[in-house]
């Protein structure tokens, strides 16, 4: 079961989002001695309490 740990800017844990708390999907590539070509991304349900700690991605 995947889990996403959400921390504040001061490194205080705010919440853990999992399948049972609204996590829809995750994408993570672990690459040894390199930089992944795709960033870490995840999707959660917007109407759950835990969503208040997640900001929508800004596209410039």
Determine the pLDDT at residue 9.
Answer: 86
59 lies in some domain: no
Rounded Cα distance, 48 and 25, in Å:
15
Q: What are phi and psi of 52, to 5 degrees?
A: -65, -20
32 lies in some domain: yes
Averaged over successive runs of 10 residues, the pLDDT of the chain (60 residues) comes to 83 86 75 70 76 64
13 lies in some domain: yes
Determine the pLDDT at residue 12.
Answer: 92
Count structural domains, the chain.
1
15 lies in some domain: yes
Other C-beta atoms closer than 10 Å to the C-beta of 23 total 20
58 lies in some domain: no
Domain interval for residue 12: 3-53
Sign of the C-alpha dihedral computed for residues 38, 10, 1 and 52 taken in this order: negative
Q: What is the pTM of this model?
A: 0.61
20 lies in some domain: yes
């Amino acid at each position: 079961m995947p889990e996403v740990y959400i921390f504040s800017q001061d490194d205080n844990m705010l919440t853990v989002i999992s399948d049972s708390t609204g996590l829809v999907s995750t994408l993570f590539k672990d690459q040894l001695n390199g930089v992944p070509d795709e960033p870490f991304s995840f999707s959660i349900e917007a109407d759950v309490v835990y969503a208040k700690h997640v900001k929508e991605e800004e596209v410039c």
